Structure 1
Amino acid sequence: MTLLTRPIHLGTLFDDAAARGARTAVHLSRPLDIAPELGTDLDVPRLAGLVRETAGRLAAAGVRPGDRVAVAKRNHWDYVLLCCAAARLGAVPASLSAGLDPDTLEILVKRLEPALLVADAQVLRAARDSGADPAGHAARTLLLDAPGDEDLCPGALRPDDLRGATAPPPRRPQLDAPLAIMHTSGTTGVPKLVVHSTRTIMRRLAGFEAHRWPVLAARSTDTVAGAYSFAHGRALAWTAVAMQLAPGALVAVSSSDWAEAGPALERHNPTVMEAQPAAYVRWQPRAAEPDNPFRRVRLYISTFDAMHPPAVRTFLNASRRRAPLWMQGWGQSETGPLTFRFLTRRALAAEQGTGPTTRDLGRPLPGRTRLRAVDPDTLRPVPRGVPGLLFVRTGALCQGYVGEEGRWRAKLVGEWWSTGDIGVITRTGAVRLVDREVDALPEGGCLELEDVLDERLPEVLECVVLGVPDGPPVPVAVTEDGRLDTAAWRRAAAGLPELADPVPMAWDAVPRTGTGKVRRAVLRERVGLGPETSGTGRWT
């Protein structure tokens, strides 16, 4: 079997799928913000038409080839459609999560200097209320909603102003020209703006995944569901792969809130389920119910952040399939996936109580990715089995950071890129994650402690351990209501390295990124800790 060698084109993604006769039914957890009149059930030809219509509106708003188009709106799959529409014009879309702090959003828009900012009222009101003005750094703004609030963004274009505009013929960028911009999670500060090309994200990442691999590839009988931040670059690859493989149905879930996600997943039971870890954690009680919507799942996919064994075990047991699989991927916005590993019910049952399993990240993608661990101070390779700073060499590495070229180059050592993670490469070439360098403890990492505590405390949705340079680590125990049984905690912490008293916190009080990662720097402030950590933070 040969890999897909021709790039998938973002701007004509749906046109090309329609021309191949793709019959994938697309189901949404709520109507699209850019076309609410279309409802929640669409097909590929209608989506192709919507992208063309949207491209016409962007062109009428003044977008030209080479321009940047920033998108900041409530999370939904139409982030992808807007990116396709901008790319169709030869412009470069930049997806910015509505979950960003207004001040951070303004910084990123200022770095982008877009020809057009596409935003919704929720984002602009939050900015106005905090004294920020992201629209002030864009040549023009297209406000998707709030037709009665003329003072929200004076001079902004509205969808009705652009209706009926005709899209020019599609333009396809050169392989190595900038194609799309997305931001990193920003767990430790202002996110970086990552630039990808057609070669890196469409050929190297989506093209590799769109190969009909056994088990992994979507089949015509599959219902493929995705639930995460569609502002993330993963959404572009996920959609591109689906349009190439043409599963029977595609389900886009725009919120981890069960009031929205539950009905969509019940109506369209997935057979392939991909979600960000925070969504899996929130849905864990639902997955434990006998009549859950995950009963048909044959393959779970998890990326973005570390998962803890109890949640993985719950979802595998939720499926009524004989042998469901959990595929755990590790990667970054800058690189795409670097390693992957499959987990089974049997493996998790055998390892239950013996130590962490999900920090074992598997092996690099064969023939595509090379990893090495180095001493953080000397940058010399360390022996197999010794923790070190992980560097990667991959053809899918992004092209740089918008407005921060110095920061980008500082993470490159020759052709090797620093992931900023501390890990161990075993004698067999597998990778075991220890922690982010900035969060790592003097002896070991926070993730191992979090794994054990999650295993021993089923009532805790998530445990976040924060390192302190001159004292024991501070654990934050996240529960649905912010309450914690202190006796149960003492039993769970028995035999572990010294920990400070736990800080109970409700789920909704924990600061998170658009992909659900805990913003550890902000959390440190909320629990009264200083910004200093045991790590250097040099590689963030």
Structure 2
Amino acid sequence: MFKEITYRPLNLYSQFKEAAEAFPETAIILDKVYEAFPQLSSESTYQEVHEAIVETASRLASFGISQSDKVMLYKSTSFDTYLLAVAVTYLGAVPVMVSYHLPSSTLDVFAQRLESSFIIYDQETMERVTGMSEKETTRPISLRELVLADRMEVVENLLPEDVIQYMTHTSGTTGIPKLICHTGQTMGWRVAWQQTIFVKMKKPGLLAFHISPVHSRYNIGISSAINLGFPIFPLSSARAQDVEDLLTLYKPMALETHPNNFVQWSRLAKEKPDVFSSIQFYHSTFDAINKATMKAFLTASKDSQPVFMQVYGQSECGPMILRYHRLEDIDETNARDMGVGLAGYTQARVADEHGIMLPAGQNGHIHLYSKGRAVTYYKEDARFQENVYGDWWDSGDYGCLTENGTLLLKDRQVDVIDQIDSNLALEDMLLDQLDFLSEVVIIRDREGRPQPILALVEEEEMNWNAWWQAVTDLPFLKEPIILAYEDIPRTATMKVQRLQMEASLKEHGHL
């Protein structure tokens, strides 16, 4: 049985050290050799990874990194990004998790806010680091330099629990991302929330996941899992063939990824269900997902009672609202119904633009209450406070509460279209009905009318008869624009950057 779950502040390093002491031989499966940690094998242990983290911290110290320094981690997306963050924490410095696709101009803004910082990069991001203008205040360190650096004798020098220990950033769907600040206390509440979910799994089986390592979800998930002794399996690639090979080989008990990755893999689940036969628990990270996709994965599992857990959350607040989906009720499910908060930890309400609560069934701004709420946006506290209503946080999302108290997520507030009650619900419905589509996004044309953007499943053709039949009884939709899946702009967590896409298509005369 798992130990009793209680709140305690989270320090990434001390938590990893304690896990390595409690479960030294528990496995961490690695699907590639990491440039930052070449000494780790494909089947490493907590203890071996902990030793590698301490060794890397001693090399980081040789560059002058010490307590309270800010260290941007800006590299290709894989598990070693997280391990670098733990090593930075060992020195009492603050990891700043930066998505590898952000341009030099955004790095310059981050560097200005941080005032004096380091930035760790690799071959994937080298050109953008070289292109930065802010060279006086930022010390670049390549992974190649790091692994060849001399070691220094250093001891752990941890920050207090009530100061900023970790930074992530917003998705940037509406402009320059904001740097979100987390303390040991706020992260500790998120870990407690997550562990109450993990203990329902009864036994510590292998957890596989493909999540952006710079997402606020990443460190909480790993910290929660290893604290309970779960073996973990970070997947570096979202390619269907890689997923097929790795899941077939290691047969994990649980699988977590972003909703859009599940949508990408749904064809694999339908055509080769054995790939997912070992999965008992699916977990969709911080966003809604259409029910046909969930059904495909639940059907593929050979477990007697597979569960698809849908979690709605936000980087500023952590995991918030959850709902369990099972095969026997998935067809009747409203995929926009996120469920309820976790008693004692999180809660949702709906308010108008002035923060006044609205009754059930009335659409408005979704407000979130979370004990794990971040403390500020770094050097932009005024922007942070614009969203604060006492203990409540305006999420920027739009929806309503049902009479049963569950939360219906309908849209981002900035994406609302007058003629449509919920873009997201409409997109879900079309994805559920039309299996030749891998993406449906509804944006606004120059007059504010709904414009569908479609991406096709690989090797499928557009079925126009099925499309027009599906939309016959819907609010008027313009003729769709078809783009390649990879041409749809996305954040690090695979969310569509709708405003950026609107602006780009208008600029090129397509809207």
Query: Are 1:229 and 1:254, in contact at CA under 8 Å, matched by a contact in 2?
Result: no
Does 1:452 pair with 2:429?
yes
The aligned counterpart of 1:142 is 141
Q: How does 1:34-433 map to 2 (within 5 A)?
A: 34-126=36-128, 128=130, 132-133=131-132, 136=135, 138-145=137-144, 158-159=145-146, 161-166=148-153, 168-201=154-187, 203-211=188-196, 214-216=199-201, 219-220=203-204, 222-247=205-230, 249-351=231-333, 357-376=334-353, 378-433=354-409
Tell me how far apart the structure 2 counterparts of residues 519 and 407 of structure 1 sit (CA, whole Å): 21
Q: Which letter does structure 2 place at the counterpart of 1:74? A: S
1:309-336, Cα deviation, whole Å (9 max, x unpaired): 1111111111011110000011100000
CA distance 1:142–1:261, change in 2 (3 Å): farther
Query: Are 2:73 and 2:121, in contact at CA under 8 Å, matched by a contact in 1?
Result: yes
CA distance 1:506–1:139, change in 2 (3 Å): closer
| Partner SS for 2:506 | coil
CA distance 1:214–1:141, change in 2 (3 Å): closer
1:198-234, Cα deviation, whole Å (9 max, x unpaired): 1111x201133224765346x23x1101101011121
1:13-53, Cα deviation, whole Å (9 max, x unpaired): 33211211343211122122202342322111111111101
Tell me how far apart the structure 2 counterparts of residues 39 and 21 of structure 1 sit (CA, whole Å): 18
CA distance 1:108–1:480, change in 2 (3 Å): farther
1:268-295, Cα deviation, whole Å (9 max, x unpaired): 1111111111221111111112453210
Query: Are 1:71 and 1:96, in contact at CA under 8 Å, matched by a contact in 2?
Result: yes
CA displacement at 1:418 relative to structure 2: 0.6
Single out whichever of 518-527 and 62-71 deviates more from structure 2: 518-527
Structure 1: segments with no counterpart, 5+ residues = 146-157, 352-356, 534-540
Query: Are 2:111 and 2:138, in contact at CA under 8 Å, matched by a contact in 1?
Result: no
CA distance 1:379–1:139, change in 2 (3 Å): closer
Tell me how far apart the structure 1 counterparts of residues 275 and 355 of structure 2 sit (CA, whole Å): 48
Query: Are 1:483 and 1:504, in contact at CA under 8 Å, matched by a contact in 2?
Result: no
Q: Which letter does structure 1 place at the counterpart of 2:110? A: L
| Partner SS for 1:461 | strand
Q: Which letter does structure 1 place at the counterpart of 2:443? A: L
CA displacement at 1:5 relative to structure 2: 3.1
| Partner SS for 1:38 | coil
Query: Are 1:5 and 1:207, in contact at CA under 8 Å, matched by a contact in 2?
Result: yes
Q: Which letter does structure 2 place at the counterpart of 1:435? A: D
Does 1:440 pair with 2:416?
yes
CA distance 1:485–1:212, change in 2 (3 Å): closer
Q: How many residues align?
A: 506
1:435-455, Cα deviation, whole Å (9 max, x unpaired): 110001224121121011112
1:387-421, Cα deviation, whole Å (9 max, x unpaired): 11111222211010012211111111233211011
CA displacement at 1:125 relative to structure 2: 1.3
Does 1:478 pair with 2:455?
yes
Structure 2: segments with no counterpart, 5+ residues = none
The aligned counterpart of 1:501 is 479
CA distance 1:307–1:109, change in 2 (3 Å): farther
Root mean square deviation, CA, Å: 2.2
Tell me how far apart the structure 1 counterparts of residues 35 and 137 of structure 2 sit (CA, whole Å): 21
CA displacement at 1:496 relative to structure 2: 0.5
Tell me how far apart the structure 1 counterparts of residues 273 and 346 of structure 2 sit (CA, whole Å): 41
Q: Which letter does structure 1 place at the counterpart of 2:326? A: T
Tell me how far apart the structure 2 counterparts of residues 142 and 75 of structure 1 sit (CA, whole Å): 17
CA distance 1:115–1:213, change in 2 (3 Å): closer
Tell me how far apart the structure 2 counterparts of residues 160 and 383 of structure 1 sit (CA, whole Å): 58
| Partner SS for 2:271 | coil
Query: Are 1:306 and 1:358, in contact at CA under 8 Å, matched by a contact in 2?
Result: yes
Q: Which letter does structure 2 place at the counterpart of 1:425? A: L
Tell me how far apart the structure 2 counterparts of residues 396 and 299 of structure 1 sit (CA, whole Å): 24
Tell me how far apart the structure 2 counterparts of residues 530 and 400 of structure 1 sit (CA, whole Å): 37
Tell me how far apart the structure 2 counterparts of residues 44 and 253 of structure 1 sit (CA, whole Å): 17
Q: Percent identity?
A: 28
CA displacement at 1:267 relative to structure 2: 1.6
CA displacement at 1:424 relative to structure 2: 0.8
1:242-276, Cα deviation, whole Å (9 max, x unpaired): 211112x3110122123433322222111111111
Single out whichever of 469-478 and 501-510 deviates more from structure 2: 469-478
Tell me how far apart the structure 2 counterparts of residues 122 and 250 of structure 1 sit (CA, whole Å): 25
Tell me how far apart the structure 1 counterparts of residues 508 and 476 of structure 2 sit (CA, whole Å): 19
Tell me how far apart the structure 1 counterparts of residues 397 and 36 of structure 2 sit (CA, whole Å): 38
Tell me how far apart the structure 1 counterparts of residues 137 and 119 of structure 2 sit (CA, whole Å): 6
The aligned counterpart of 1:489 is 467
Query: Are 1:11 and 1:89, in contact at CA under 8 Å, matched by a contact in 2?
Result: no
Q: Which letter does structure 1 place at the counterpart of 2:242? A: E
Q: Which letter does structure 1 place at the counterpart of 2:195? A: A
Single out whichever of 6-15 and 367-376 deviates more from structure 2: 6-15
